[in-house]
Chains A and B, each alone.
Chain A
């Protein structure tokens, strides 16, 4: 039995090291704070260079908040974000500009992610202009990156506007924009959820190729565990602001330890005609309010194995079997 990771040092091999990250959004009523939405309530993990970590969770799990906080779109309330052995948790403004160059963002909705009044060239040029890349180098990089995402011939796309492209093409532009500064880390938040099924795998495959070629580390945020299987080295499962389980993808899917993970896996259908005859055993209820989360383990109201201690105390994160971590009293 091992203790929480709180006091451990960061793995020097890790490009990203998150320790005890809390993000609480205050609720203000006429200048008085009446409560906090505890979107992230103590999250810790490492991401090794060149690896893909999938963060899987449902709405309200905190996965999007985690992504945006790492990108420093949200401000952390407490904790540490350590990138490449440098602490970026509370840096602001000019101090953090170098960080923004190293980290890329791929968003969910390709249409909303591209400004409708700029053409593709302008969209891709923006990050370059902001970071002071000279004009000739800019065009060169734009061409390069459009070729990489297979929007060719490049001339056909450079002057188009987002609404002239299909969903898949728009998402390629979003990926191109994330790549144009040659980042070392990319946060991809549901990058293919809004695309058609037939297009999803194509985009993810492309993404994976690019990742391998440039040795980029990726945090892949999704609610779809099945794509995580094909796309990630490790998986972290989030529930109500906590990471409840984290392991190598293979281990997590074959030996899920946390009851929530087990429920998730059960709930996801495979295309099997026998499905229509059976009912899935799913814990009832909904994820808890983040304003007033239940005491103890946040999953206990829905957990089929809930014990007394689960209702009172928050379980510690326990390492079982190498690097398979789980936050549950069943193993504590």
Chain B
């Protein structure tokens, strides 16, 4: 039995705000195998970015609850101290391409130096060696090597994105979290970046957690899919099944609400708005918008119901009586 490279069990992340408690991640479980790509799909307020931050322990100051198990290479990294996590795990085993990456570059430091930084900090390399590796990396992501001495403002949006991706890969982690990596890019540039990410996956054998709100885009880079809604993973399935036969009503509605270029379909939209994480509705969080809501949905939160091949759904429709 091949073991997963990343195994998350019952991860919780709550944080406290003036108005109350935000349950950003409310018991998430997933597995990621070698060279596999897991797409995490959700809208704003679903908790998907919090999930990414939780995995990298980039927590806000007002954390209220943070527990669960996260096994990387068989080790539960939740048990590590912050210091150990920082030196051994973060950017060594698992790294991230953050949202709005293009603004994540320091405008007053040259590209080369920024790219070399993770090596200097996390691998203890000396500056020259790190810069050499940086040059290699630039070539790999398709940027001419002279750009090592340029500043971020001299690069176009697409190029900056490539630099940020390079920064996430330079320490050769086995898992890379991509948090909306193409959100502000043009369609053609987006396609080029997706091509790059696919190539990296094949050549470097990394595993991806690909977070996005764009369902169509998610299909470009997903072997497995996790759909998040209001802090829960409501469906966890494998790509071939998910896009053709989504199980959860939310997934179904989501897929039918996205206009497609190549096929004609009946467009349906989901009434209402995503719920607030401060005061989620009782019972199943999707019930106010669900066309199949039953009595029990209004009262009790549905449990995880296992389906075939390690997939699961959180929905009363699939509970066996």
Instruction: Enumerate chain A interface residues (CB-CB to B < 8 A).
Output: 58-59, 166-169, 196-202, 205, 223-227, 229-230, 253, 263-273, 275-276, 279-280, 282-284, 286-287
Contacts and interface: CB of A to CB of B under 8 A. Distances in A.
Contact of B219 (A200, A229, A272): A272
A230 B192 CA distance: 26
Contact of A264 (B187, B215, B240, B262): B187
Interface of B: 37, 43-44, 156-158, 186-192, 194-195, 198-199, 213-223, 239-240, 242-244, 253-255, 257-263, 267-271, 273-274
CB-CB nearest 7 A-B residue pairs: A58-B186, A267-B191, A273-B239, A202-B269, A196-B43, A198-B270, A201-B269
Contact of A280 (B194, B213, B261): B194
A interface majority secondary structure: helix
B260 A270 contact: yes
Nearest to A277: B198
B254 A198 contact: yes
Contact of B274 (A196, A227, A284): A196
Contact of B262 (A166, A199, A230, A270): A270
Contacts of B187: 58, 223-225, 264, 267-268
Given A58-B186, A273-B243, A276-B223, A197 B214 contact: yes
A275 B217 CA distance: 9
Contacts of B253: 198
Contacts of B158: 286
B226 to A, nearest CB: 15
Contacts of B195: 279-280, 282
A156 to B, nearest CB: 15
Contacts of A58: 186-189
A273 B246 CA distance: 12
Nearest to B250: A198
B47 to A, nearest CB: 14
Nearest to A56: B187
A202 B216 contact: no
A267 B261 contact: no
A273 B242 contact: yes
A225 B156 CA distance: 23
Contacts of B268: 201
Contacts of B194: 269, 280
Contacts of B219: 269-273, 275-276
A265 B157 CA distance: 21
Given A198-B254, A275-B219, A205 B269 contact: yes
Given A198-B269, A282-B192, A270 B186 contact: no
Q: Which of B43, B157, B240 has the most CB of A within 10 A?
A: B43
A198 B43 contact: yes
A275 B225 CA distance: 14
**Most B-side CB within 10 Å, residue of A58, A198, A226, A229:** A198
B274 A198 contact: yes
Nearest to B215: A271
B32 to A, nearest CB: 15
Contacts of B157: 59
A276 B273 contact: no
